[in-house]
Structure formats: structure tokens, C-alpha cells
């Protein structure tokens, strides 16, 4: 299965064609429009097999699949201690593999923003999490760890690893968290302000000699987004 994750920085209806040559089975797209509420025929035709969530019709998270793939949304809880978390989009692919699309959000939280949202979501769905492919924009890196929080980036990674869930990039490139040599996001599209904040965590047994985690070149996509598409082969 080939998966692409990409924070498209909005207006996906004008950008989806740039991903066609990758021939991915599944696309996990952050900051995209709801196809049903956008008056764009080509985008609607492209979106013949998808699920989408969001508070704004122009900026949510969508999972798009080839027409021969069965895509079913899972109804998982999103409330932790009376507060909703966002954005997490769980689906079952072909009645077998669970995939959770992530667009970690600030969510107006003074404390549990971004990776804190991830930590909360996985506390309430832990039994599902460790069977899943978890992929998307986490808006997080261990370089931003806060020492007095038990749910910072390193804590979440450690929590995953204790349950045999690993980052594909770090496994395949043999690099440490926070020491990534290849970036996935460029603040204000500045080549000198690159960060690695997009990930794919999988059960370790899914990684083998055929696995790939390919980060696209920023020069090829900087006119479209501050993130680059990531091509994942599982």
C-alpha cells in the first residue's frame, strides 16, 4: 500500500493534480476543503472515495482513496476529561487495516496544544492505536519538549515505542528524534527554517525491506505549500 500525507496549505481543489503521478492508494491531506461543499466539479470527481472532517468547510482533514479500495470511517471517541480534541480521522481500509489521519491542532488550548492533543486522543483510544497506521501533521518535534510536561513529544514517542509502534522515518533512516536531517515543513516557506513535524507511526512488524518513507523536495512544492508531500510504502 502506498500512502501520501501532505498538509496542502489550503485550496487542495487546485493542487490535487500535482499528486497524481505518485499513484498513491491513499492520500491523507491536511487543510483541505470538504468536496461536497466546494463548487468545483473536477475536485468533486476526484473525491469519489473519501472521508472528511473539519469545523470549516475550507480547511479540514480528508482521507482520499482509489475507487477499488474500501474506505470506512471509524467512530472513535474524541473527548478527554470533557474537552474535545482535534483533528483525528480514523478509518478502516479494506475491512482490515486501521489508519488514523492526524492534523494536530492548537485547539485553543493553553496547555494541551498540538502534541498534547495527540497525547489526549491516544489515551482514550489506546486499544485501537497500537494496531494502527498513524500518519500526518503532528506539528511537533522533540526539540520543542517542555521539561515539566509528561506528554511532550518524546513522551508520546516513548509511549508508542513501549507498545511496538515506531516512526517509519527514524527506523529507516536510523536517525534520532530531534536530529532529523530531512525536513518536512518550512516556516513561512523559508528554506533556512525547516523542521521535521510530519510522521508515520506503524506497528514495527509492518516495516520490512520493501518499506519506504520518501520526503519530497521542497523546491518542487514550495509554490503550493509550506509542507512537502511524504510518500510512504508499507
DSSP secondary structure string for all residues of 69-124 = S-EEE-----EETTEE---EEEEEETTTEEEEEEE---TT-SSS-THHHHHHHHHH
> Which H or E run includes 220?
helix 218-221
Domain extent for 171: 2-233
Provide CB contacts within 8 A for 17, sequence distance 6+: none
How far apart CA 144 and CA 165 sit, in angstroms, is: 22
pLDDT tens sequence for the chain (234 residues): 999 999 999 999 999 999 999 999 999 999 999 999 998 999 999 999 999 999 999 999 999 999 999 999 999 999 999 999 999 999 999 999 999 999 999 999 988 999 999 999 999 999 999 999 999 999 999 999 988 888 899 999 999 999 899 999 999 999 999 999 999 999 999 999 999 999 999 999 999 999 999 999 999 999 999 999 999 999
Contact criterion met (CB below 8 Å) for 140 and 197: yes
Q: What is the CATH number of the domain that holds 204?
A: 3.60.10.10
Number of domains in the chain: 1
Amino acid at each position: 500500500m502506498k500512502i501520501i500525507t501532505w498538509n496542502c496549505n489550503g485550496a487542495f481543489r487546485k493542487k490535487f493534480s500535482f499528486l497524481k503521478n505518485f499513484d498513491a492508494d491513499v492520500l491523507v491531506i491536511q487543510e483541505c476543503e470538504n468536496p461536497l461543499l466546494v463548487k468545483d466539479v473536477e475536485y468533486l470527481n476526484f473525491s469519489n472515495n473519501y472521508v472528511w472532517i473539519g469545523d470549516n468547510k475550507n480547511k479540514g482533514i480528508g482521507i482520499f482513496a482509489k475507487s477499488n479500495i474500501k474506505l470506512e470511517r471509524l467512530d472513535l471517541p474524541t473527548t478527554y476529561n470533557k474537552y474535545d480534541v482535534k483533528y483525528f480521522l480514523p478509518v478502516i481500509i479494506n475491512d482490515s487495516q486501521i489508519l488514523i489521519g492526524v492534523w494536530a491542532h492548537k485547539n485553543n488550548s493553553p496547555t494541551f496544544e498540538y502534541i498534547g492533543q495527540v497525547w489526549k486522543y491516544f489515551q482514550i483510544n489506546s486499544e485501537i492505536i497500537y494496531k494502527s497506521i498513524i500518519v500526518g501533521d503532528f506539528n511537533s518535534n522533540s526539540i520543542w519538549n517542555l521539561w515539566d510536561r509528561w506528554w511532550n513529544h518524546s513522551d508520546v514517542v516513548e509511549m508508542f515505542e513501549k507498545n511496538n509502534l515506531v516512526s517509519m522515518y527514524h527506523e529507516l533512516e536510523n536517525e534520532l528524534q530531534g536530529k532529523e536531517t530531512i525536513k518536512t515543513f518550512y516556516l513561512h516557506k523559508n528554506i533556512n527554517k525547516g523542521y521535521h513535524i510530519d510522521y508515520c507511526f506503524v506497528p514495527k512488524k509492518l516495516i520490512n525491506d520493501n518499506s519506504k518513507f520518501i520526503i519530497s523536495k521542497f523546491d518542487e512544492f514550495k509554490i503550493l505549500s509550506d509542507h512537502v508531500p511524504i510518500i510512504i510504502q508499507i
